[in-house]
Amino acid sequence: MAQPVVSVFLRGFLSGGLVSSALFGIYSYNNNANLAIESGIHVEYQESLTDPSYKLRGDQILKYGVPDRGPDVRYYRNHALTYDQSRKSPIWVAEHLNKEVLTGSANRKHSKFKPDVNIPEMYNAANSDFYKSGWSRGHMAPAGDNKFDQVAMDESFYLSNIVPQDLNNNGQFWNKLEMYTRDLVQTKGYSDVWVVTGPIVRSTIEENGKKFVKYEVIGKNEVPVPTHLYKIILAETGDKQTKLIGAFVVPNQPIQHDHTLRQYQVTLEDLQIWTGINFFPKLDKSTTKNLCDVDQCKLLSREQFELYFIGRKLDSARNISRLEKVWSELDEKNLKPDQFLIELYNRKKSEIDLKEKEE
């Protein structure tokens, strides 16, 4: 088996994107002196933003166009993102959750992972990059957030919304975090939840004391494997009076069931420093409260998580044999069914019996 390629650079996973963003800001807003102050640019540099000769010279320098890294934001049916064309990965993916988008009959079984049709082929990842790589295809905007519309569901399977993710992490801890995010709307009474998710690479200290940023790349397109994933959750009540925010950075590796979400909470300021991204720039953050202080940020226990997936398998059973096999998992895993699961089993059994008699 070929050895994984490892890329090493000292500026970090997002440095190229940040340089491009800085240049774009200078070229686009060179007549706005206030931007110099707001962006932390030295006050003495303001003159260059208002001096017409700078714009004239800039037009000459860029006679044949500004080097283009693609659109700043790409919009989809139920998510938006910024995409790093050089690394074939999203930088951030944003969503807005409410009961409407979380309700419906869209089904992921009708969706397929595929390159984003909106991105030129030369900048796209491919399914073959993930094949036998040892990494799963991890959604940044989860498929489960798109129940209202099959097109939205399908678009969440574009590889522009995917990063290489540890399989155990993807199916367990990260899955529970995604479920928690939906639960804020579905059962906890928050009318609107905004979520921003993305990959990140954190530095490590070598034996010689030097810091490095290292990450594996996979496939012909050398798709980067992030060391961590981040997710920011902003929950708002229906009266708009309460806004809760929480930022989390989760290692891209297996995580035990007894680990809590609080263990991976970071300050929003730290995450903004690590990524170079100002999240929710139009939000007055002084009016927000810590999500985990108010809601506790409690994820499903191992038992609750197992029962949830047994319930999903029961609901999708199409014959008695399959139904009974799934039900037997309760004994195998030493789990006690709750009333909901018992009622689901009995309902599915009656439906299957009736269908078989009709046939």
- On whether the pTM is more than 0.75, the answer is yes
Whether pLDDT at 22 is above 60: no
Lowest mean pLDDT among 47-51, 141-145, 152-156, 264-268: 47-51
Place of tokens 């993930």: 130
52 is written with which tokens?
Answer: 């017409």
Domain 74-295 CATH assignment equals 3.40.50.740: no
Whether pLDDT at 18 is above 80: no
Percent of the chain with pLDDT over 70: 86
User: What are 201-255's pLDDT values in tens digits?
Assistant: 999 999 899 999 999 999 999 999 999 999 999 999 988 888 999 999 999 999 9
Question: Binning pLDDT at 50, 70 and 90, where does residue 73 land?
Answer: very high
Q: How far apart are CA 108 and CA 154, in angstroms?
A: 7
Q: What is the pLDDT at residue 45?
A: 55
User: What are 76-112's pLDDT values in tens digits?
Assistant: 999 999 999 999 999 999 999 999 999 999 999 999 9
The answer to whether the beta carbons of residues 248 and 231 sit under 8 Å apart is yes
Q: What is the pLDDT at residue 48?
A: 65
Whether pLDDT at 197 is above 70: yes
CA–CA–CA angle 30, 36, 40 (5° rounding) = 145
Nearest to 195 by CA among 97, 271, 282, 300: 97
Question: Binning pLDDT at 50, 70 and 90, where does residue 195 land?
Answer: very high
143 is written with which tokens?
Answer: 């498929």
Furthest CA-CA distance within the chain: 84
Q: Which is more confident, 23 or 278?
A: 278
What burial class does residue 106 get, using C-beta atoms within 10 Å of its C-beta: 0-12 exposed, 13-18 middle, 19+ buried? buried
HEC per residue, the chain: CCCCEEEEECCCCCHHHHHHHHHHHHHHCCCCHHHHHHCCCCHHHHHHHHCHHHHHHHHHHCCCCCCCCCCCCEECCCCEEEEECCCCEEEEEEEEECCCCCCCCCCHHHCCCECCCCCCHHHCCCHHHHCCCCCEEEECCCHHHCCCCHHHHHHCCEHHHEEEECHHHHHCHHHHHHHHHHHHHHCCCCCEEEEEEEEECCCEECCCCCEEEEEEEECCCCEECCCEEEEEEEEECCCCCCEEEEEEEEECCCCCCCCCHHHHEECHHHHHHHHCCCCCCCCCHHHCEEHHHHHCCCCCCHHHHHHHHHHHHHHHCCCHHHHHHHHHHHHHCCCCCCHHHHHHHHHHHHHHHHHHHHC
336 is written with which tokens?
Answer: 């006690």
Question: Binning pLDDT at 50, 70 and 90, where does residue 61 land?
Answer: very high
Domain boundaries, the chain: 5-61, 74-295, 302-358
327 is written with which tokens?
Answer: 């039900």
Lowest mean pLDDT among 29-33, 158-162, 242-246: 29-33
Whether pLDDT at 282 is above 80: yes
User: What are 165-179's pLDDT values in tens digits?
Assistant: 999 999 999 999 999
Q: How far apart are CA 267 and CA 25, in angstroms?
A: 26
Q: What is the pLDDT at residue 355?
A: 85
Q: How far apart are CA 290 and CA 26, in angstroms?
A: 34
Whether pLDDT at 30 is above 50: no
The answer to whether the beta carbons of residues 317 and 310 sit under 8 Å apart is no
Q: What is the pLDDT at residue 203?
A: 93
Active-site residues: which are they? 139
Whether pLDDT at 2 is above 50: no
User: What are 301-357's pLDDT values in tens digits?
Assistant: 999 999 999 998 999 999 999 999 999 999 999 999 999 999 999 999 999 999 888
Backbone angles phi, psi at 290, to 5 degrees: -70, 120
Q: What is the pLDDT at residue 51?
A: 87
